[in-house]
Each structure stands twice: as structure tokens, then as C-alpha cells.
Amino acid sequence: MRIAVDVMGGDNAPKAIIDGSILALKEYGAELYLVGPEEEILKYLKEEDKRNPNINIVKASEIIRADEAPVNAIKHKKDSSMVIGLKLVKDGQCDGFVSAGSTGAFLAGSLLKVGRIKGVDRPALSPLIPTIRRSCMIIDAGANADSKPKNLQQYSVMGSIYMEKVMGIDKPRIGLLNIGTEESKGNELIKGSFPLINSTGVNFVGNVEARDILSGVCDVCVCDGFAGNVLLKTVEGTAMTLFRLLKEEFTKNGRTKLGAMLLKDGIKNIKKRFDYTEVGGAPFMGIDGIMIKAHGSSDANAIKNAVRQAKIFHDNRCLDIIKNEIDKLGVERTDE
Amino acid sequence: MRIAVDVMGGDNAPKAIIDGSILALKEYGAELYLVGPEEEILKYLKEEDKRNPNINIVKASEIIRADEAPVNAIKHKKDSSMVIGLKLVKDGQCDGFVSAGSTGAFLAGSLLKVGRIKGVDRPALSPLIPTIRRSCMIIDAGANADSKPKNLQQYSVMGSIYMEKVMGIDKPRIGLLNIGTEESKGNELIKGSFPLINSTGVNFVGNVEARDILSGVCDVCVCDGFAGNVLLKTVEGTAMTLFRLLKEEFTKNGRTKLGAMLLKDGIKNIKKRFDYTEVGGAPFMGIDGIMIKAHGSSDANAIKNAVRQAKIFHDNRCLDIIKNEIDKLGVERTDE
């Protein structure tokens, strides 16, 4: 597998990105294409890495910052690490692309430079959040603010394939995010999506409520990008607030400080789980290429995992399976 | 003020409901109408309460359970405490109604039996959630699954009046729940709502993100009922999950158990804040009467607070102010 990595994206770029990519290369094997300014990359490569035939440097002089208007940035910064990386996939030189850079630019760039799978109108950003059981994919988490039932049907199929093939979950349980569990509940979008998802053959467990997602009620939470984004950011905000309140209580007096000291490791474990909010990178599903968006605050280990995700995605031929299943949905629709 | 209370609604009915109502009566003064089976109510009233001219018993023989289909229950259980209570408001015998019973029946019943304020198409359930600063009203939290920009405009005005008049907040900050803070962000509903809210004269702070609600970024979070419900239930689910993980860490070994003992009170405080999720009762805004939905798990103190909310609502003539402001919005729209 040939994988392009945006060396300049993310808070810890370029060091953590380069380190993580090389860790993945050594652990899982792959052909790496590090995209960014050559002198920056060379600075962080060891002599043995420079001689490694599986590590390629692809020059890119510009950087897209997180606060730039995404479409504009993609159109004008033609020599950015983001655009050059995307083009490697478009031109077939690489099989996948990992970036911890601007989410907006990543989404816009994937659409503009790589393009959609035939039949998928609305690709979806689909991060995994940690649950009590394991993790749950939120699809869509905000790539599209407005969706149609057909989009949600496609999300259910793509999410199911990903969780099975990449995360190794047998018959992933697909839930439809709703404001009640009865089939009659919800807005027009959800009511329209229910029968469509039910007809796909995925392991559909019906409507699920937001309060049960972290308890592991499903492996894939299908929703429109607006609701998914609200869910994701509410988890983040609630965890942040609770930890802030805990800290206040812990530092109140000598007694609580002692208690906090005894519990330090445990709290750290929980915090770490919720700090990232997301498990590994978020695939951009429905793009005609393997696109993994790593969290902006990714360290080397997170990048290693994102590269690993891309590799499993590739090794299991997920893109072909998704194309095939989307194609089938299309045929079924025409039959009706 | 004459206030009707649904004695049979909620997990702790009838004792906690009756106790809480009488606590409120003694602390804040009001004329109480306790609605439910007479023998049940008499069982929990002290002799002095039975002689109190401000405590009235209104007989109702039926109970609407939480799992009944709301509209059906309201239509068929004509002698339920919920329906009789709502009719007291409709007929002008009472100024407000408090119930900890089925949310669905409360919403359906308020619409069918009491009716909307003229000009308000979609009344909104609007609970308050605790924040780091004080509390934030989520309007709408699920009364309507589909909304229009005009509905959200009305929510902003009604929410602002409530937080100012009932919660005593000077110039409440009104935020529009969105998936980014830039004005260009969001779905069609939100993009259409932004200029409408901006034109009302409320203290509009623009778009707010779900991750910042608990940090107190606004006093009123305006949203459609679907997104609001997802937000509310995600706060609940995340808090529940975090406390479960904390408990696991706390009970791991002797060391952590000692730590947990030292921190017991602090954790309890935080848990209590998040346990209810909601602060006091949730007003059903836009109904032509004072309707307060108390949490199903309300204890006597929560009921006391819900009655208090109803009383402040009444004493500050909020209903008239809301009618007046909604009327103005209507006129302005016709002028355009």
C-alpha cells in the first residue's frame, strides 16, 4: 500500500506526524509519501530513514491553516501539503491520504480534488467515539449540514462495512439517532430514513437515543451532519466541564488533595479516553479514495493509528466493497 | 395566584408532589389545586392542611402512565389528573399547571386542552440545564421534531423573556445552536433563523457550538427540537458514563477506595448537579397558560421549585409580555 501523509497538518506538525508515520511503516509496513517542505522533513528523518526506499518525500511549499476558508484555500494554495497529498490519490500514485490539518479544507479538498464514489451524493465524515463497550462510529459528524433519507441509507451501508472490515466487528449494530426509540418518532428526515435503512440488509437495531450512545447501544450511529456534530461536541463539552468540576473539588483542601493523589492514575486513564473524544482518525466515507482525517491534536501514536486504519481499509479492499454495495442500492431503488 | 398540581404524575407521586406543593405554598404563598383521587390526597395531607382555605382538592380518578400513547391518553382519559388539571387552566379557574407526569401527554394535552398563544405555531419545551456559570435554557428540547426559522425566532423572544423575568438575568444572552460559529455555517434552518433572530432586539450573541453550552456561552440556546433533544440527552449520557467510569476506578483497590472516601462529598455535589440534568421544571413556552413540566424523578424540593417558577412567571405577568412581543414580531413581518 502507498500512503500519502500531510506532514504539515495538525498542532504537533511536522515532528509528531513524521514520527508517527515511520512508526506505522515499521510496525505494519507500507510505502510512505511524506508531503511537505523538503528541508523540514529531512530535519526530522534519521539517516536510515533517508535511505529507506519505502519513504518518499513529495515537495510542497505551502501550508493551509485551520482558520482559512476551506474552498478558497484548496483553490488557491495549489502547492500546499494538503492539495499535493490529495492529488497523489487522485492521480493513482497513492492509495490513501492521512491529514491532521484543517477539517474543512480536508473535506472540501477531498470532494474537489479526489471526488465522490459514483452514486454517493454526500460523503460523510465519520469519527469513532469511545464507548463503555468499545467504540461507535458517528456518521455523519458534520460534513453535510442538510441531508436526505437516501444519504442516511448510504451512511448505514458504508458505516457497517467500515466497522466490520476495519474495526473487526462481527455484524455491526447500526442505530438511527432519534429523539425516541419508537418507529413513529422523529423528524421527517428520520422517518423517511428508517424504512430505507431497514431495507439494506445491514444489522439495523432501529432508533437509538443520544443518551445511550456512550453506553454502547450501537456500533454505528447514523445521523445527519448537524445532529451528529451536536452529539460529538456535546460529549466533548460535557466531559470538559465534568473534569473541570472534579478538579475544583480535588483541590479544595488537604483532605481532597490527598484523595485526588490516591486516585491520580485512574482519573488520568478516564481523562485520556475522553480527551481525544475520538478513537484514531475519522474516515471520510464516500470519497473515491482512502481518506483519513486525524485529530488536530494528534501525537505520533495517533498518527500511527490513522496510518494503520488506512492500511487495513486498503488491505481489506473496503473501497471496492463499498462501491459494490452502493451500486446495489442504486439498482434496488430503480427497481421499486 | 391559583396553581393546579398533578398529584399523580412522576416517580414519587403522590407523596413528594403533595409535600412539595405545600412547601411552596408555605414559603411563597399561592392558592393550590391538588388534582387526583381524593382519598389518596387526604392520606398525605395533615389536619391543618385540610383546614387550609388555600388548599383545594380537585377530584380525578384516572392516571396517565408514562408509556401510554400521548394523544390517545389525553383524548380517552378525560378524568385523569393530567386532563382535569389542564382544564382548570383552560377554564380560567387556575393560572398555571405543574406536572411531573408523562412529557408526551403533557405536551399533547397542553396543545389540545389549553391551546397556543395567538401567533405561536409551535410551542417549545424548554428545560434549563446547569452550566459552570448558572443555567442555560434549551428551547426547543423536543416538543417539535421539525421547525421553521420563524419558530426559532419566536423561541429566542420567549426564552429571553423567561430568563429575564423568571430567572432574573439581565439582558439574557441568546445563542443559536450551530455546528460552527461563523454566520455562513449551518443547515438551511439555522441560516434562515440567524437574520430573523438578529432582527428581534434580543441580546443575540450569534451562533454557539454544543461544546460551549455547559461552559455558559449563552443563557438561552435556541435550536430545533431534534438538535435540542440530542444535546440534552448527550449531556445526560456522557455524565452517566463518566460517573460509571469514575466508580470503576474508585473501587479498584484499597488505595483508590481510600481516595474515593476522602472525595466523597465533592463527587456527590457534582453528581447531584448532573443527576437531574435539568434545573427545576421545564416551561412549555407558547401555550396560553403557565405550564411547568417537572422532571419525572422530582422529589418534594423539585416540585416546590417548579411551583415557585410558575408563581414568578405569573407575578411578573410573563404571559402578557410574551403575547405582546409575539404580536410585535407578527406586525413586523407583515410590514416587510
- Option in A188, A260, A274 nearest B146 (CB): A188
Q: Starting from the edge strand earliest in sequence, which strands make up the sheet with B31-36, in order?
A: B55-59, B31-36, B2-6, B96-99, B290-293, B282-285, B124-125
**Chosen from A71, A148, A211, A258 to mutate, greatest number of chain B CBs within 10 A:** A211
Q: Tell me the chain B residues in contact with residue A216 when contact means C-beta distances shorter than 8 Å.
A: none
CB contact under 8 A, A270 and B185: no
A317: left (phi over 0), alpha (psi -120 to 50) or beta: left
> How does residue A331 score in pLDDT terms, banded at 50, 70 and 90?
low
Question: What local confidence, expressed as pLDDT, does residue A334 receive?
Answer: 44
CB contact under 8 A, A235 and B239: no
Global confidence as pTM: 0.93
Q: For residue B126, is pLDDT > 70?
A: yes
Q: Determine contact: A240 vs chain B, CB below 8 A.
A: yes
Size of interface A-B (CB pairs under 8 A): 174
Question: What local confidence, expressed as pLDDT, does residue A269 receive?
Answer: 85
Question: What local confidence, expressed as pLDDT, does residue B335 receive?
Answer: 41
**Chosen from B144, B212, B213, B229 to mutate, greatest number of chain A CBs within 10 A:** B229
CB contact under 8 A, A239 and B235: no
Do the beta carbons of residue B213 and residue B136 sit within 8 Å?
yes
Q: For residue B112, is pLDDT > 80?
A: yes
Q: Determine contact: A335 vs chain B, CB below 8 A.
A: no
Closest CA to A22 of A318, A222, A308: A308
Reported ipTM: the value is 0.92
Q: For residue B27, is pLDDT > 90?
A: yes
Q: Determine contact: A273 vs chain B, CB below 8 A.
A: yes
Question: What local confidence, expressed as pLDDT, does residue A335 receive?
Answer: 40
Q: What residue of B is the nearest CA neighbor of A259? A: B259
Q: Tell me the chain B residues in contact with residue A215 when contact means C-beta distances shorter than 8 Å.
A: 237, 240-241
Q: Determine contact: B71 vs chain A, CB below 8 A.
A: no
Question: What local confidence, expressed as pLDDT, does residue B276 receive?
Answer: 59
Q: What residue of B is the nearest CA neighbor of A145? A: B187
Q: For residue A336, is pLDDT > 70?
A: no
Question: What local confidence, expressed as pLDDT, does residue A67 receive?
Answer: 87
**Chosen from A241, A247, A257, A269 to mutate, greatest number of chain B CBs within 10 A:** A241
Residues present in chain A in total: 336
Q: Tell me the chain B residues in contact with residue A244 when contact means C-beta distances shorter than 8 Å.
A: 132
**Domains of chain A as residue ranges with CATH:** 1-120+286-316 (3.40.718.10), 122-279 (3.40.718.10)
- Option in B146, B187, B246 nearest A270 (CB): B246
> How does residue B269 score in pLDDT terms, banded at 50, 70 and 90?
confident
- Residue holding cell 496510518? A307
> How does residue A277 score in pLDDT terms, banded at 50, 70 and 90?
low
Mean pLDDT for the stretch of residues A311-327: 96
Percent of chain B with pLDDT over 70: 97
Give me the residues of A, 9-38, that contact B with CB < 8 A.
none
**What's the one-letter identity of residue B219?**
D
CB contact under 8 A, A132 and B244: yes
State the DSSP code for B111: I
Do the beta carbons of residue A8 and residue A63 sit within 8 Å?
yes
Residue A116, CA distances (Å) to A108, A119, A335 in order: 11, 8, 24
Q: What residue of A is the nearest CA neighbor of B141? A: A179
- Option in A239, A250, A260 nearest B238 (CB): A239
Mean pLDDT for the stretch of residues A212-232: 97
Which tens digit of pLDDT belongs to each residue from A286-303? 999 999 999 998 999 999
Three cell numbers, residue A166: 476495519
> How does residue B270 score in pLDDT terms, banded at 50, 70 and 90?
confident
Which tens digit of pLDDT belongs to each residue from B7-21? 999 999 999 999 999
Question: What local confidence, expressed as pLDDT, does residue B330 receive?
Answer: 80
Residue B46, classified by CB atoms within 10 Å of its CB into exposed (0-12), middle (13-18) or buried (19+), is: exposed
Q: What residue of A is the nearest CA neighbor of B191? A: A145
Q: What residue of A is the nearest CA neighbor of B185? A: A145
Three cell numbers, residue A16: 509528531
Q: Determine contact: B259 vs chain A, CB below 8 A.
A: yes
Percent of chain B with pLDDT over 90: 88
